[in-house]
Structure 1
Amino acid sequence: MSKILIVLYPDPVTGYPPEYARDTIPSINDYPGGATLPSPQALDFTPGELLGCVSGGLGLRDWLESEGHTVVVTSDKEGPDSVFERELPDADIVISQPFWPAYLTPERIEKARNLKLVVTAGIGSDHTDLDAANARGITVAEVTYSNSISVAEHTVMQVLVLVRDFVKQHEISAAGGWNIADAVERSYDLEGMRVGVFAAGRIGRAVIERLAPFGVHLSYTDRFRLSEDYERKYNLTYHDSIESLVQNIDVLTVHAPLTAETRGLLNTELLNTMPRGAYIVNPARAAIADRDAIVQALESGQLAGYAGDVWDPQPAPVDHPWRTMPHNAMTPHTSGTSLSGQARYAAGTREILEDWFAGNDIRPEYLIVEGGSYKGVGATSYAKVPTKADEGQAELSQATS
């Protein structure tokens, strides 16, 4: 039997909800492109419930305990006396979400001598030191595509919020005002703007497909170029580097994984090559952007707006400058944890655990590292240099944000 440590965000301040705004959520039968949804043997929750908090427990506790496993569910993850730190040394499996990540540093991995499996309930496993996991032979998996559309929808929303300057208009309305001139002095139409997508994986492609009807001019860059048919369908312009892309756009959306190559990439030098008054929406990872460079670019007017829902670290401290910088439309890390998304990534987490306990192979599209090397999606998304074998998995690379 295993000890499973699950780190989730705290319950609502008003308590776990006794009811919800809607009685049901739509049933999704498959993902775009034909990929299949999670297929666990059973579920112990009703889709649409709040699963990502401690009381929700990803709908796993009853099942795991009925199988004889020890389950610890906590939101307490900071500091040497936290529940996470105390329970980690003898944990066999650690599960957390990108929205409230259990940071598994090399030091913590060294401390966790029993650790064999790390699961990201959602997409994005950079809160685990993947090199350290490889060195220890720990398997790392995530629920690929489970909340990709959730993040894409959030991205489109934030693009419109920035360009139309919605936040200021809503604040005027909420305050009882009718200051039309003040409300529209920074408001533009998205139609006709040049939108660049950094990393055209499943989230990036979903953003392209949802923005195309707005009459924008779309371009992108990615480690793997999309097909000619796809580029033609969406009138896409391909750039072979982020440096080329940002010089020719009005709006940049960011969907790359956090790697050594992307960390700090959106720095002052790169931002200064963008047309003055450009916008950035980053729902990927905050550390892809230089924190202070973003603030300075907004204060100087080089950027007209910045939005996203990712911070470094998470949760962000109350004095994080992105909370108060001008012309921001930041949210907590919520884009991928809608109630609809939670149902899918909770189901996928259970599927991964069922396969693990049964000794079955975990789906390649869920794998990040296994047996000391990058596997599946991880081989084409997190590995530093793609190999010839990786190039044959280009479609798998499109499965990650």
Structure 2
Amino acid sequence: MQCFLIQPIHQDGIDILRSAGLDVRVASSSDMAVVSAEIGDASAVITRNAGLDRAAMDAARGLKVVGIHGTGYDRVDVRHADAIGLPIVNTPGANVQSVAEHAIAQILGVAKRVRDGDAAVREGRFAYRYVGDFVEINGKTLGIVGFGRIGRRVAEIAKLGFGMTVLVHSPSVPREHIIAAGFEPTDTLDALLDRVDVLSLHQRLTPDTHHQFDRERLGRLRQGAILVNTARGALVDADALIEAVETGHLLGAAMDVFDPEPLPADHPYTRCPGIVLSPHTGGATREALSRTAVEIASQVVDVLDGRKPAHLVNEALWDRRR
């Protein structure tokens, strides 16, 4: 049997696959046309943010399982996988701490103008310390949109580490769960936006959340607010975010995710110095990469050996799987 890797994973995961008797192949490109041409006789496939489309699934007639190295599955054709009885597994908890830390780093990076300060010293502009617009986050109000594992961890760090008041909007999570965790739920997104100094996004991308943060929504944020996004790039309307930063309505923003990815070198984000950019590195710490690779490889092996895995995206099809 073969496991086809669309994108690289940590060696610890590869070792598990090989120990289970799987040959491991790596795609020459994550482009779906290339994947369709190269997937061949794979019994399993592991993808990261490249996803897996219908054509690639159909090209691998012997495919038994799709592994998602991470949480999000918006780029995997889950509906088609359901139709052909193909189980999909993911790793919803493996990168939580790393992504949460990155979100906090983004908040601090904008608030403390870390990138601008670094550039000022390198360029001999030490007087930047007198003119830079720096703020504390202690005592400020943080808005969390999406109270999954990562959103919850960011909320915990912000409250316990920085004394922030935390508001949460997450329609899929009961109010009492948010209250029990020590945070304040808001019934509507707009009610949250009106009150926060910092906004951190942790939603899934769906047709309803695509460009949810448009000009109107960003305009509801307080003057001088900060937005950070470690979830999905298409949650935010890029033109609206650039406008909000360049007009000074927002103190700044930070994006770790983009639409499309990789971000083209000529994308308007790259010409907006008020937006801090990172190449989807939130879950790319050495610790998270090892945990995620081990968890996804172990679940792939479980499925191939007939054992129900811990994290099935499409759990309802388990008894009618291929």
Same fold (TM over 0.5): yes
Worse overlay, 267-276 or 335-344:
267-276
Q: Contact 2:65/2:87 (CA < 8 Å) preserved in 1?
A: yes
Q: Contact 2:214/2:237 (CA < 8 Å) preserved in 1?
A: yes
Gap change, CA 1:225 and 1:351, over 3 Å in 2: same
1:76 and 2:25 aligned = no
Q: Contact 1:139/1:371 (CA < 8 Å) preserved in 2?
A: no
Gap change, CA 1:75 and 1:310, over 3 Å in 2: farther
More helix by share: 2
Q: Residues 328-366 of structure 1, C-alpha deviation per residue, up to 9 Å, x if partnerless? A: 111011111100101111110122022112201111xx1
Distance of 1:352 and 1:158 partners within structure 2: 32
Normalising by structure 1, we get a TM-score of: 0.73
What's the RMSD between the two structures over aligned residues?
Answer: 2.3
Q: Secondary structure at the match of 2:89?
A: strand
Matches within 5 A, 1:274-285: 274-285=221-232
Equivalent in the alignment of 1:144 = 92
Q: Contact 1:3/1:93 (CA < 8 Å) preserved in 2?
A: yes
Q: Contact 1:138/1:371 (CA < 8 Å) preserved in 2?
A: no
Distance of 2:241 and 2:67 partners within structure 1: 31
The amino acid of 2:118's aligned partner reads H
The amino acid of 1:74's aligned partner reads A
Equivalent in the alignment of 2:277 = 330
Q: Residues 124-180 of structure 1, C-alpha deviation per residue, up to 9 Å, x if partnerless? A: 222212222222222111112101011001111111111122111111122233123
Report how far residue 73 of structure 1 moved. Answer: 1.2
Matches within 5 A, 1:246-265: 246-265=193-212
The correspondence for 1:225, drawn from 174, 180, 190, is 174
Q: Secondary structure at the match of 2:313?
A: strand
Q: How many residues of Structure 1 are paired with residues of Structure 2 in the alignment?
A: 316
Q: Unpaired segments of 5 or more residues in structure 1?
A: 10-51, 374-401
Q: Residues 304-328 of structure 1, C-alpha deviation per residue, up to 9 Å, x if partnerless? A: 2111311122222211222232311
Q: Contact 2:27/2:38 (CA < 8 Å) preserved in 1?
A: no
Gap change, CA 1:331 and 1:119, over 3 Å in 2: same
The amino acid of 1:227's aligned partner reads E
Equivalent in the alignment of 2:314 = 369
Q: Contact 2:252/2:275 (CA < 8 Å) preserved in 1?
A: yes
Gap change, CA 1:238 and 1:110, over 3 Å in 2: same
The amino acid of 2:128's aligned partner reads I
Equivalent in the alignment of 2:39 = 88
Distance of 2:125 and 2:138 partners within structure 1: 28
1:168 and 2:132 aligned = no
Matches within 5 A, 1:45-194: 52=9, 56-57=10-11, 59-60=13-14, 64-65=17-18, 67-74=20-27, 76-78=29-31, 80=33, 82=34, 84-98=35-49, 101=50, 103-181=51-129, 184=132, 186-194=133-141
1:5 and 2:42 aligned = no
The amino acid of 2:92's aligned partner reads T
Q: Secondary structure at the match of 1:311?
A: coil
1:308 and 2:258 aligned = no
The correspondence for 1:296, drawn from 234, 243, 246, is 243
Q: Residues 7-50 of structure 1, C-alpha deviation per residue, up to 9 Å, x if partnerless? A: 225xxxxxxxxxxxxxxxxxxxxxxxxxxxxxxxxxxxxxxxxx
Q: Residues 215-273 of structure 1, C-alpha deviation per residue, up to 9 Å, x if partnerless? A: 22211111213536x63664x22101222211111110011111222121111121122
Identity between Structure 1 and Structure 2 (%): 29
Distance of 2:28 and 2:102 partners within structure 1: 25
Q: Contact 1:251/1:280 (CA < 8 Å) preserved in 2?
A: yes
Q: Residues 197-222 of structure 1, C-alpha deviation per residue, up to 9 Å, x if partnerless? A: 00111111111111113122211111
Distance of 1:204 and 1:357 partners within structure 2: 32
1:340 and 2:287 aligned = yes
Distance of 2:271 and 2:84 partners within structure 1: 41
The correspondence for 1:351, drawn from 265, 273, 298, is 298
Q: Residues 253-298 of structure 1, C-alpha deviation per residue, up to 9 Å, x if partnerless? A: 0111112221211111211222222211110111111122212222
Q: Contact 1:117/1:139 (CA < 8 Å) preserved in 2?
A: yes
The correspondence for 1:245, drawn from 186, 192, 206, is 192
Q: Contact 2:36/2:59 (CA < 8 Å) preserved in 1?
A: no
The amino acid of 2:93's aligned partner reads Y
Gap change, CA 1:116 and 1:263, over 3 Å in 2: farther
Q: Secondary structure at the match of 1:227?
A: helix
Matches within 5 A, 1:14-53: 52=9
Normalising by structure 2, we get a TM-score of: 0.89
Q: Secondary structure at the match of 2:223?
A: coil
